[in-house]
Structure formats: C-alpha cells, structure tokens
A and B are shown apart, each in its own frame.
Chain A
C-alpha cells in the first residue's frame, strides 16, 4: 500500500513537473497513438490538448515532418533505446513553420515495447538565426575562427551571457575571466565616451528586435583601448524571452587606417582649399566639374558652388575644348607633359590665358581629372612686352648704329676723298667705339632672347676640335700681339658629340676671349677636353690676372665685374660669363671656376655627350 501510495505521489509530482516545464512532452501507446500531452506542447505546437490526443504518430503528423521523424521513431521502437532528434521541420496547424528538437524515449513493460515518450523543444529561433546570418554552422565556425571574433549568447530575459570564441585575442582576458562578465560589467569596460551611445543603440535594437551594430572602444587587459565592432541579432523565443547572439571583433587596425586616411584626406583637402593655384576635380568622362577650390573660383570668376556640377564647355572655347578632350583621354603626350596653355572664358565673358597641369586618376571605376590652373594672362602680357622690347633693341637701336658703321667704312675707304692722319685717327676711334656699341647691343639682345626662353637648341653632330680651331683663328691677331701660346689638348678617343654647334661655339668663344683678354704678354692658354661618363668636360686655363677668392661666387652673376677686371679693361658690362652660364645650362651642362688655381684662372664646363630635350 505504502509503495502504491508512494508511486501515486511520485506520479503526481512527475505530472506536475511535466506540466510546468516549457519543454513539450507527449506520450504514445504501443499502437503509436498519443494519449498524453503536456501544456508545453500546446504552446510549441499551437494547438490544444484535445486535438492532439488520439493522433497517430506515424500517420497524422505532416508529410515533411514524418520524412525525418518516422525513421528515428521506428528505430527507437525497434532498438528500445532513446534517440535524440534535431531541428525537424514542423508545420503547425496554425501554419507556422517551426523547428523542433528533443528525445524519443521508448517505454518498456516486461522488456517489451509499450509506447514512446517524446520531448519537444522549439529551436525555431536558432534555425532562424542561422538563416539570417546565412551561414551554415560549419561556415560560421570557420568564419568566426578566422576573423578572431568573440562570440556571445545573451539571454536578455534571464540576464545571463555565454562568452566564447576569441576572448583572449580580442580583450586580453581569459575565458575564465569572462565567466562572470554580465552586461553591467561589460558596459564598464566600454570607453566612457562611447558607453552612452552603445547602450542606447543596444536598447533600441532590443526594443525593435532588430539587428544591432555598434563600434566602441573597449578596455583591453593591458590597459589600452581597442576598437570593437559589435554586431548582434535579437531573437524572440516562443516563450517571449529575448535572446541576443552576436560577435565582438577587434577593428583597431582598421580604425587606425581609417584615422590615417581621414587625417591624410584632411591634409589634402586643406592643401586643395588653400592652394594658390586654381584646382578643379573633373569627371573625365562627362567633363563636369566635381570640386573646385577658392582660387579656381577666383580665376574663373565664378563662385565655388557655381562651378560644382558645371560643364567644362561653359569655360572652354573650341580650341581649349579640343585640348581638354585630349587631356582627359589616355593621351601619352599629356601623361608625359601634362602642362598646357589654353584660353578660357570667365563668367563675365572676358578671356584669359591659363596654364593647366592635369593628371588622370581612376578611382572606384570613375575616371577623374585633377587640374591645376594658373592665370598666366599677365605673364603672357609681360612676354609680349619682352618680345616687343627685343624688337625695339634689335631694330631701333641698331638702325642708327649700322648707319654710322657704314658711313665710317665709306670714309675709311676714301670714297669721299682722302683724310689726313688726324682725321683718320678720329675716324678709327669712332668706328671702334661704334663697334663696341654694336657688340653691347648684340649682347643685350642675346641676353633678352635667352632669358625669355627664346634660346633654341638645335642638335647636330659636333666635332669639338674643328670648332676650337675656328675660334682660335678669330683671335689670331691678338694672340700674335700678346705673344701668347695656345695649347689645345684632347683626350684620345673622344668622338663627335650631339649638341648645338652655335651655342657650344659661343661658350668657347666667351671663355677663350676672356682667357686671352686677361692674359699677360707671353703667357699661355690651355684648352683641354676630357670625357667623363656621359659628359664632355672642357677646361680653359690662363696664367693671367686671376680672380680673387671673394669674387668666385659672383662672377657668373648678371652685370658683375671683377675689381682687377675694371682696372684693366673699362669697357665690358659684365654679361659674358652670365650669358655663358645660361647657354651651358640650356645645353644641359654646368660651368664652374677652379677656385684653387694659384696662377691665373681655370674655367670648366660640362655638356652631355648627347643632349636630351
């Protein structure tokens, strides 16, 4: 009796427990008919107890369900061993797709099959979570593993969080350290400045049961803050409890790059805005201005906002448009020499000349042209004035000088009768001084041409010794008068060089003329030609008056005249070496003075064996 009473009591306890648990339980007899269901099952299945009792387990469940359920059920029945089932799809009578897991436990009586007890757990939310993340379990694991993410499973209703994954890699703490980590403690690790926003975002996502994604700084075990990207999803369980699944990922490196990028962008932005040159960023396909700086607006006469979105056709005339088309294409010329001069139209209709320097970049599939503009209208005007000046010097100053020259020659040739000795002396002086004046005008003219970039270099094969002989012969009279010795030495094997013969002659002429002019009677002038790598180095050495150390640096300056020079020769104007320097540089070389020469002076200049434009 006592035993029976105890059994009854046990059964009651058992029953009440079964009734209270959320897990669903049903029991079928040996003919596979359900005769008992608990409350839990009605919640999961969404039907009442009555409708469920009497159902045949192998026939009355839905097709889809039976496909999975029947073999397991039959196996449990046959083997009399309990078997678990996982995520079987069940379409409830209410038409809701759910997934269920649980155990099929065979009941025995005298060692024989006497029915089945089945536990049912709704795992729909987990399945949904998987679907939403669109990752299979394995893929998820791989992804999580590789991305070094910390995983959390947070039951908001109960308040407990399970932490797993790369806890140590992300936070520096061990898994054990994290065991007691609840939401409050977690929030204390968040940087105070990020805490409010993070918690607010979390709260809002929890209320709407949506995805959650926040970035915040989290205090690492080593005391520094790491940038965390926290992404999670809220899921509502059938019982109304809310669960959150998510990951925390260390994105410090990405943040650092982002920060650097922002800083460098900012720097370039400022450079762009503050540049004295006009800057335009143009869509190279549509020819539409995307960005413009203040200087560009100033040059073009528009405001920055007027320029944005404007078609380039508004500011370009026909010719400039063609140039612009070429610039924006994959034209090799502009890649090599991106600087072009073109005429453009300002907002008020006036035309200006600009120098445009452009680069094409392809960024995210877009072809962009960056154009730097400089208003050179004034420079053009100055150039024009300079050209006019050259023309003036060239013609107006030389016209009377040539008339004097020719008249002087006529008198000297006794075309108008003979002159007495005194008259002839004066005439000779007039002619000499006039010639000096002509030379001076020619020098100035030469200088203007060189300085205004009008010096043109014509490449030809040049035989240096031939040039030297020609120049030395010009000075033959002076060489004889001063009893000078001219030595020309050339390193063996030097072949012809490719350069401009006229300009090279002018360099030699100026340096040799100086050497002769400033030599003392009976001295020698040595001209040497050496080859060094890709260069030809010439030196012109004299034993004359020399150059004081403090004048060395100034001698190549415009209008500079040395102290000793002015004492000896009062007529020069100090342009010879300056012009020489300009010409040497135009040929791609250098000219210098040997400062250590004890006696006289030695000038060197180099030119490339083959001039490159």
Chain B
C-alpha cells in the first residue's frame, strides 16, 4: 500500500485526492500546515508528498528545503501542486529535486492524478 501525504490547506482539494486515491488502494494522509506536514512526513515516511506552496504557516518551499536536506526524508518524492505561478519559485522547487510542478488552474484534475499514479506506480484496484 502506497502512502501519499497531501499538504494542502484547501479541504475540498484534499477530499478530491483522498477519494480518488482510495480507488487505487493508496492511503492519503492530510496536513493543512507545513508544521503538521513535516511532523507527519517524519513519522509516517510516505511514498509521496503532494505539496502546495502557499500554506497558512508559511512558504511551502521552506518546508521542501528542510525535507530535502534531511537524510531521513530526502528520498520522499514530492510533487508541487499550487497556484503560485512564479518562475523563480518553480525553478527553485525543481532545483531542490521535486518530481513535477503543476499550476492547478492550468491542469485538469485527471491529468494530475494520472501523473501521480505514474510516479507511484499505482494501478487501478477496482
């Protein structure tokens, strides 16, 4: 069973992912703040983190830096899914080693889901 941690303050989007991944036999963990996200990441060691950059307690990029510089968590795959459309942020995230960077409004939900499935090697369970 794959574990996906969704660090996202929009509960509606969290629910959408949770519902979707349940169909693929994956567990979703939810965090609305970067502090909680970091804690869960260290405790649960998920296979993938879906990270929004604008979080109530700060810049998601800072959390990304911490995760990628920590020996225990640096191997966790991270996909940034955000509406923060800034070239600098995108370049910084990619240089820190994220798998992909999506702008929410510019992607259909299914294309994002497909991409995550590919990275995780998930198959339709039901």
Point out residues on A near B: beta carbons under 8 Å: 390-391, 394-395, 398-399, 401-403, 405-407, 409-410, 413, 438, 441-442, 445, 456
B108 touches A402 (CB 8 A): no
With A395-B54, A456-B87 as known contacts, state yes or no: A405 contacts B82, CB within 8 Å: no
Contact of A403 among B12, B82, B106, B108 (CB under 8 A): B12
CA distance A62 to B54 in the complex (A): 111
Which among B82, B85, B87 has the highest number of chain A CB atoms within 10 Å? B85
B10 touches A399 (CB 8 A): yes
Query: B83 contacts the other chain (Cβ, under 8 Å)?
Result: yes
B38 to chain A, nearest CB (A): 21
B109 touches A410 (CB 8 A): yes
B104 touches A398 (CB 8 A): yes
A411 to chain B, nearest CB (A): 11
Query: B71 contacts the other chain (Cβ, under 8 Å)?
Result: no
B16 touches A442 (CB 8 A): no
B85 touches A402 (CB 8 A): no
Enumerate chain B residues within 8 angstroms of A413, measured Cβ to Cβ.
110
Query: B118 contacts the other chain (Cβ, under 8 Å)?
Result: no
CA distance A394 to B84 in the complex (A): 6
B33-90: which residues lie under 8 A (CB-CB) from chain A? 54, 82-87
Summed over the interface, the residue pairs from A and B with CB atoms below 8 Å come to a total of 51
With A399-B104, A438-B105 as known contacts, state yes or no: A407 contacts B87, CB within 8 Å: no
A-B contact pairs, 27 of them (CB 8 A): A390-B86, A391-B84, A391-B86, A394-B86, A395-B54, A398-B85, A398-B103, A398-B105, A399-B10, A399-B104, A402-B13, A402-B83, A402-B104, A403-B12, A405-B108, A406-B13, A406-B104, A406-B108, A406-B109, A407-B12, A409-B108, A409-B109, A410-B16, A410-B109, A413-B110, A442-B105, A456-B87
Closest A residue, CB atoms, query B9: A399
CA distance A409 to B86 in the complex (A): 26
Mark interface residues in B3-24 (1 if CB within 8 Å of A CB, else 0). Answer: 0000000101100100000000
Supply 6 further A-B pairs (C-beta < 8 A) apart from A395-B82, A445-B85.
A395-B83, A402-B13, A402-B83, A406-B108, A406-B109, A410-B109
Closest A residue, CB atoms, query B87: A456
Enumerate chain B residues within 8 angstroms of A405, measured Cβ to Cβ.
104-105, 108-109
CA distance A442 to B85 in the complex (A): 10
CA distance A406 to B110 in the complex (A): 8
Q: How many residues of B contact A (CB 8 A)?
A: 18
Closest B residue, CB atoms, query A405: B105
Mark interface residues in B80-121 (1 if CB within 8 Å of A CB, else 0). Answer: 001111110000000000000001111011100000000000
B98 to chain A, nearest CB (A): 18
Enumerate chain A residues within 8 angstroms of B87, measured Cβ to Cβ.
456
Closest B residue, CB atoms, query A445: B85
CA distance A288 to B103 in the complex (A): 53
B105 touches A401 (CB 8 A): yes
B114 to chain A, nearest CB (A): 12
With A401-B105, A405-B108, A441-B105 as known contacts, state yes or no: A395 contacts B84, CB within 8 Å: yes
Closest A residue, CB atoms, query B84: A395
A399 touches B109 (CB 8 A): no
Enumerate chain A residues within 8 angstroms of B16, measured Cβ to Cβ.
406-407, 410
Closest B residue, CB atoms, query A439: B105
B23 to chain A, nearest CB (A): 9
Enumerate chain A residues within 8 angstroms of B12, measured Cβ to Cβ.
403, 407
Enumerate chain A residues within 8 angstroms of B110, measured Cβ to Cβ.
409, 413
Enumerate chain A residues within 8 angstroms of B13, measured Cβ to Cβ.
402-403, 406
Enumerate chain B residues within 8 angstroms of A410, measured Cβ to Cβ.
16, 109
CA distance A555 to B108 in the complex (A): 34
Enumerate chain A residues within 8 angstroms of B10, measured Cβ to Cβ.
399, 403
CA distance A407 to B54 in the complex (A): 21
Closest B residue, CB atoms, query A442: B105
Which among B16, B83, B86, B109 has the highest number of chain A CB atoms within 10 Å? B83
Enumerate chain B residues within 8 angstroms of A395, measured Cβ to Cβ.
54, 82-84
B86 to chain A, nearest CB (A): 7
Enumerate chain B residues within 8 angstroms of A441, measured Cβ to Cβ.
105
Closest B residue, CB atoms, query A401: B105
Enumerate chain B residues within 8 angstroms of A456, measured Cβ to Cβ.
87
Enumerate chain A residues within 8 angstroms of B106, measured Cβ to Cβ.
438, 442
CA distance A406 to B83 in the complex (A): 13
Closest A residue, CB atoms, query B11: A403
B83 to chain A, nearest CB (A): 4
B109 to chain A, nearest CB (A): 4
Enumerate chain B residues within 8 angstroms of A401, measured Cβ to Cβ.
105
CA distance A223 to B10 in the complex (A): 95
Which among B87, B109, B110 has the highest number of chain A CB atoms within 10 Å? B109
Closest B residue, CB atoms, query A403: B12
CA distance A439 to B29 in the complex (A): 32
A398 touches B83 (CB 8 A): yes
A569 to chain B, nearest CB (A): 22
With A406-B13, A406-B16, A407-B12 as known contacts, state yes or no: A399 contacts B108, CB within 8 Å: no
